[in-house]
Structure 1
Amino acid sequence: MSTSKTRSSRNWLAHLWALSTGRFGLVVAGLVTATAIVSSFWMPFDPQNVDIAVRWSTPSWLHVFGTDGTGRDILSLIMAGSRTTVFVAVGAGVIATVLGLALAALGALTPRAIRETVAVFVDILIAFPVLLIAMMISAVWGGSLWVVIWAVGIGFGVNIARVTRPELRRVLHSDFVVAGRASGLTPAQNLVRHLLPNVAPVFIVQLSWAMAVAVLAEAGLSYLGFGAPVTEPSWGSLLSELQQYITVQPLVVIWPGLAITITVLGLNLLGDGIREATDPTLRRSARRRPAAELHEPEVVA
């Protein structure tokens, strides 16, 4: 069984890599993660080092992305900010996973009264946008990375619960789940062995989108002053600092904005690629499409 599982996971990853969206998403996610790891022990310059002599330097071999108005190296600031990005994305993903699966299980596997109560609770929470939740929490406890992580985790955990709950209800009535229940498996064992693996594709797609929203929310909240503190490097706070000089040095604003855009785009496309790689109906339609195009009759005027 372990061999078959390994083979199926390899086939799934191979299909994901064959897709242009999946390949782009994997490359972006890997590059951002690698940058965060490397920046923990090496950067070209100290990101907080101020050197007035080289302020507003244009891109060169010494300062690849140039410097800001205080002489700080832009590349080092972006590398340091990648640690914040990865930390927020992973932290929000963990919270969204735990909360989403817990609410989905309560809304699918419990008696009817509890199921309906959980469904109403989820519908109420899903009406509040993630950024609004983060700003309300920041107004009470102050701005920090943990505020962003908890706000995005709660917001997308509710989304995961809403999408995963009907899938759990559908799989719950499958023959293999009924057979597992008849063989003496407890509800928790049935959930781990049969239910969660069968809803994993839907869940993973939602999780990748949650991480993309976490990156965007952290950048947006830091830009507005509700996110990372001043002492914590962040792409959003860097963009906020540099945008006031856009008429003087427009090039320096491009780099943090480009980092945010590519990261969010890569995570969103990774979610689309995972959805296509794990959905057998989309695989079959993708295989049939070229053949249909080859036999498409020409229209003669």
Structure 2
Amino acid sequence: MVNQTEAIAPPPPLTRRARTKRLFGQLRLLDTLRRDKIGAIGAVLVVVMTSLALFAPWVAPFDPLAMSSGNRLVSPSTTFLLGSDEAGRDLLSRALYGARTSLVVSLTVVIIAGLVGVTLGLISGYFRGIIDGVTMRFMDIIFAFPTLLLALAVVATLGPEVRNLVIALSIVFVPSFARVTRGAALAISAEPYVEAARSVGVANHRVISRYVLPNVMAPIAVQFTISLANVILVEASLGYLGLGVPPPTPSWGAMLASGKSFIELSMWPSVVPGLFIMVTVLGFNLLGDSLRDSLDPRLRLRN
């Protein structure tokens, strides 16, 4: 007679290589982009904008801080490809360096918020009970505040510095990761192999790291992509209000704010950063939607 515990014994823990392979197998990124043209467009936009940001020192035609009083508010020309601002600074160079600022801040925020949010979500979804109740009620309190308003309040309290901006945005985006992770962790924790691992005395932290976490990485990856777009928008909004990255560092939001005062004389100081924001956010949103659709079994069957 087969022992019941042996019949439902947990599978052997996956190696790091196997967990990585499973994650990319779940995402099926290349297959998804091959079938989903919209997602492929988003991936191309993300790659292009990221490459421009990384290679800005070599791509930018001018120093983004160099001013020229004789070239104020110049329209696009062979010298200034996208025009110049009110101080005679090249808009293309400033937009490229602004991309570096926005992407670095956004990536830092999403990594911090992801680490904290995923940890809270795993603990909450796995242990449930009072831990789940307290953690999720605290996340609900943060969610109750509008995203921009909460970030604005934190930055205004701490001061307009890059470090404070990262702290403020990280606080705002932690609940998103926590809720997504908790929902997936609740479903995985109810699986027979997880219950079997508990019954044979496997430590909770090993169950979470070996069985629960690898199976919730796919929705976390989607949330990571979509959150990047949202952080870029909020960071630009704070920069527009004067609470973003402090000058003279180029920032898309600050460029929009300074350009609006001269909109009647030249539209380019406002149009250029706006276009960069639109293209970058559009790319991350299209890529995130494509990943989400590839992970939804109902949408896969429909396609």
Q: Deviations over 1:135-182 (max 9, x none)?
A: 112222211233332222222211221222122111101123234334
Q: Tell me by how many angstroms 1:42 deviates.
A: 5.0
Are the aligned partners of 1:26 and 1:266 in contact in 2 as well (CA < 8 Å)?
yes
1:22 and 1:31 mapped to 2: Cα distance? Answer: 14
Moved over 6 A (4+): none
Greater Cα offset, 65-74 or 149-158: 149-158
Residue 13 in structure 1 maps to residue 29 in structure 2: yes
Are the aligned partners of 1:59 and 1:66 in contact in 2 as well (CA < 8 Å)?
yes
Structure 1 regions of 5+ residues with no counterpart? 287-301
Residue 45 in structure 1 maps to residue 62 in structure 2: yes
Are the aligned partners of 2:75 and 2:266 in contact in 1 as well (CA < 8 Å)?
no
Q: Give 2:250's aligned amino acid.
A: P
Question: Residue in 2 aligned with 1:263?
Answer: 280
Q: Tell me by how many angstroms 1:41 deviates.
A: 5.0
Question: Residue in 1 aligned with 2:250?
Answer: 233
| Equivalent of residue 112 in structure 2, options 95, 104, 122 | 95
Residues 153 and 5 of structure 1: is their aligned pair in 2 closer, same or farther, counting only changes over 3 Å?
closer
Question: Residue in 1 aligned with 2:235?
Answer: 218
Structure 2 regions of 5+ residues with no counterpart? 1-13
Question: Residue in 2 aligned with 1:285?
Answer: 302
Q: Deviations over 1:99-139 (max 9, x none)?
A: 21122122122262222111221211211122122211222
Residue 64 in structure 1 maps to residue 45 in structure 2: no
Q: Give 1:125's aligned amino acid.
A: I
Identity score, percent:
33
Are the aligned partners of 1:101 and 1:164 in contact in 2 as well (CA < 8 Å)?
yes
| Equivalent of residue 197 in structure 1, options 201, 214, 230 | 214
SS at match of 2:150: helix
1:143 and 1:7 mapped to 2: Cα distance? Answer: 42
Residues 41 and 183 of structure 1: is their aligned pair in 2 closer, same or farther, counting only changes over 3 Å?
farther
| Equivalent of residue 289 in structure 2, options 253, 257, 272 | 272
Are the aligned partners of 1:148 and 1:214 in contact in 2 as well (CA < 8 Å)?
no
* TM-score normalised by L of structure 1: 0.87
Q: What is the number of equivalent residue pairs in this alignment?
A: 286
The CA RMSD measured in Å over matched residues stands at 2.2
Residues 40 and 188 of structure 1: is their aligned pair in 2 closer, same or farther, counting only changes over 3 Å?
farther
| Equivalent of residue 259 in structure 2, options 242, 246, 260 | 242
1:215 and 1:74 mapped to 2: Cα distance? Answer: 19
Q: Deviations over 1:226-274 (max 9, x none)?
A: 1110121101101111111111112332111111111112212221111
Question: Residue in 1 aligned with 2:96?
Answer: 79
* TM-score normalised by L of structure 2: 0.87
1:114 and 1:5 mapped to 2: Cα distance? Answer: 29
Question: Residue in 2 aligned with 1:290?
Answer: none
Q: Give 1:12's aligned amino acid.
A: R
Bigger relative contact order, structure 1 or 2, given CA contacts below 8 A and separation 6+?
Answer: 2
Q: Deviations over 1:58-102 (max 9, x none)?
A: 212221111122211111000110111111110111111112112
1:212 and 1:181 mapped to 2: Cα distance? Answer: 39
Residue 176 in structure 1 maps to residue 197 in structure 2: no
2:88 and 2:70 mapped to 1: Cα distance? Answer: 7
2:82 and 2:264 mapped to 1: Cα distance? Answer: 18
Q: Tell me by how many angstroms 1:8 deviates.
A: 7.3
2:38 and 2:172 mapped to 1: Cα distance? Answer: 25
Are the aligned partners of 2:77 and 2:83 in contact in 1 as well (CA < 8 Å)?
yes
Question: Residue in 1 aligned with 2:158?
Answer: 141
1:257 and 1:153 mapped to 2: Cα distance? Answer: 24
Q: Tell me by how many angstroms 1:56 deviates.
A: 2.4
Q: Tell me by how many angstroms 1:5 deviates.
A: 6.0
SS at match of 2:166: helix
Are the aligned partners of 1:107 and 1:118 in contact in 2 as well (CA < 8 Å)?
yes
| Equivalent of residue 45 in structure 2, options 18, 22, 28 | 28
